[in-house]
Amino acid sequence: METVTETALVEVQPTESGHQIQLQTVDAITLPKVRNLNSVLFPVRYSGTFYKSLLLPGQFCQLAFLDDKCVGTIACRKQPLGFADTPASIMTGYQALQEPKYYEVYMMTLGVLAPYRRLGIGGLLLRNAVEFAAKDPNVRRVILHVQIDNDDALRFYHKSGFTTVRLVQRYYKNIEPPHAYLLEYRIR
């Protein structure tokens, strides 16, 4: 059983269903827990570079624990506003762009292990990400991509106040269907 370490910032928050969830900020010591959860939760395999990037400034990454068991995770990055609408051919060089005036928070992953879903853990992680984004007056929205056939995720995000912006053809590589919806939560 995985337990919460003493090294990262830990807080306890209740879910709407009354469960007490320990939320832990991800650091170098807890990063392997994120990798383990993601390997179970998602069909996409993320690179070592992806995991290292979670520790950079401007990132928001938390683990959720219920009864000392690691059951969920979220990872977001702050990026220039409109970056998700930028053609893929220039996405890799976005750090070299001029300092933008406005930003968006891109939710890269949000997942909860199947036995712990519908307990409010995902909603708690999502609310924390939105609060993280709202603290910065230059952040305009929280966005993410959802695979077009992931009806449960689409319902969850729509219920949480996200709207569908557009369909993105061939967003995913090596998984079917490859298409995704871009969703957003407007902050200001």
Instruction: Say whether 171 is catalytic.
Output: no
Catalytic residue selected from 103, 106, 157, 171: 106
**pLDDT computed for residue 99 by the predictor:** 81
Catalytic residue selected from 46, 145, 172, 179: 145
Both tokens of 59, joined, read 């990132």
What's the whole-model pTM score?
Answer: 0.87
pLDDT, tens digit (0-9, with 9 covering 90-100), for 150-180 = 999 999 999 999 999 999 999 998 899 999 9
Alpha carbons 59 and 185: distance in angstroms, whole number: 18
Return the domain boundaries, the chain: 10-186
- pLDDT bin (cut points 50, 70, 90) of residue 9 is confident
Least confident of 29-38, 80-89, 106-115: 80-89
**What is the pairing mode between strands 103-112 and 10-14?**
unpaired
Picking from 91, 89, 127, the residue whose alpha carbon sits closest to that of residue 107 is 127
Picking from 32, 18, 131, the residue whose alpha carbon sits closest to that of residue 73 is 32
Contact criterion met (CB below 8 Å) for 105 and 78: yes
Instruction: Say whether 116 is catalytic.
Output: no
**The domain 10-186 belongs to what CATH superfamily?**
Gcn5-related N-acetyltransferase (GNAT) (3.40.630.30)
